[in-house]
Structure 1
Amino acid sequence: MAHDAGTDTPELIAGDGVRRRDFINIAAVSAAGVGGALTLIPLISQMAPSADVLAESSVEVDLSQIKPGQAIKGIFRKQPVFLRNLTPHEVAEADKVSVSSLRDPQSLAERTKPGKENWLITMGVCTHLGCVPLGAGEGEVKGEFGGYFCPCHGSHYDTAARIRKGPAPKNLEVPAYEFTSDTVVKIG
């Protein structure tokens, strides 16, 4: 019987050793996972926008002082933005243009809000190479179509800020915006 007892002992020791190894492996993998996660947290959090960027993520503009036919320049996300109060004549002229004849086909209604078709809000950056077009300031050249003119390479935009002539491939971009009241618009 001593012989049987001696054979049972090595099996118990081997069984205990396997369990210890499993525990050590699980603990090591868990520690590595926690360490990896703790290493990634600062890397991911540094990609979040800073406070100054978040502050510029939207801007409110009071439109009450902009007369029909007048445009102003503002700043949105460190880029110029044009806010234009179109006259009824300018709206009619923009609506007369055949959308299919445009390089970047968009109607004025697609570029403005329903019931506020006279308010055209666009980014003030030419879609060719990023210059700032003229036409929003008083006395500035508005181009052949009465909208905006890019002096860098000669792109002409109409009163709906649609590209009509020149190298620009697209219309001036319309940013996301909403009217918070009859006279205040929130861009962004």
Structure 2
Amino acid sequence: MADEASIDPAEVTGEGVRRRDFINIAAVSFAGVGGLAVLYPLVSQMSASADVLAESSTEIDVSAIQPGQAIKAVFRKQPVFVRNLTKAEITEAEKVDTSSLRDPQTLEERTKEGKTNWLITMGVCTHLGCVPLGAGEGEVKGEFGGYFCPCHGSVYDTAARIRKGPAPKNLEVPPYEFTSDTVVKIG
């Protein structure tokens, strides 16, 4: 009978175990909610802000750019050159033997199909990041008629391919698409 007196009646009915389980579940749930409350601001602050999202793409109306002209625009706080190539510039670019180039690419690889007259490149020299000349009215275009970097003398042709100087690569072509015949969306 002494053994029966030492048995807790709550253990026999199972109430003690249920109460303990409830406390454990409540504590773990509270810790989980607290962990989420701490992690959410840390994760959400890593997402792009509204001003960055606004600059993630740029639309340019190219209807006013005449053949042989180029404009400078801004994409992600960097200059972009949009150039309307003439038939003579296209012919000259297509005549170049790509195996002789430091960074071999054809004009077709650097433009969109059916729009080979529109060359869109980042306006940043691949040597040390200077802005090449050649997109503005009266600027020096270099001996190949494209772009000339005044910082260290890199010379690009009409397809913005490196032809001379220290730059290791062609001017970068950003991702872009024509949303209509006169509007291009970069980014």
Cα deviation code 1:22-54 (max 9, x no counterpart): 443333232222211111111111122121221
- SS class of match (1:12): helix
- SS class of match (2:39): helix
Q: How many residues align?
A: 187
Cα deviation code 1:97-143 (max 9, x no counterpart): 12222211211101101110000001101111111000001111111
Structure 2 equivalent of residue 151 of structure 1 = 150
Structure 2 equivalent of residue 50 of structure 1 = 49
Choose 77-86 or 42-51, whichever is displaced more: 42-51
- SS class of match (1:126): coil
1:126–1:36 distance in 2 versus 1, CA, 3 Å: same
**Aligned-partner Cα distance in 1 for 2:154–2:8:** 91
Kindly report which structure 2 residues correspond to 1:79-90, keeping only aligned pairs within 5 A, or say none. 79-90=78-89
**Aligned-partner Cα distance in 2 for 1:148–1:115:** 24
- SS class of match (1:132): coil
Structure 1 equivalent of residue 181 of structure 2 = 182
Gaps of 5+ in 2: none
**Aligned-partner Cα distance in 2 for 1:166–1:28:** 68
Q: Letter of the aligned partner of 1:165 in structure 2?
A: K
* Per-residue deviation, 1:3: 3.9
* Per-residue deviation, 1:67: 1.1
- TM-score normalised by L of structure 1: 0.90
In the alignment, is residue 130 of structure 1 matched against residue 144 of structure 2? no
**Aligned-partner Cα distance in 2 for 1:99–1:52:** 40
Across the aligned residues of Structure 1 and Structure 2, the Cα RMSD in angstroms comes to: 2.1
**Aligned-partner Cα distance in 2 for 1:112–1:82:** 13
Structure 1 equivalent of residue 113 of structure 2 = 114
- SS class of match (2:56): coil
**Aligned-partner Cα distance in 2 for 1:157–1:146:** 8
2:94/2:107 contact within 8 Å kept: yes
Cα deviation code 1:35-79 (max 9, x no counterpart): 111111111111221212212221211111111111111111111
**Aligned-partner Cα distance in 2 for 1:17–1:98:** 86
Structure 2 equivalent of residue 102 of structure 1 = 101
2:11/2:17 contact within 8 Å kept: no
2:121/2:173 contact within 8 Å kept: yes
- TM-score normalised by L of structure 2: 0.90
In the alignment, is residue 63 of structure 1 matched against residue 62 of structure 2? yes
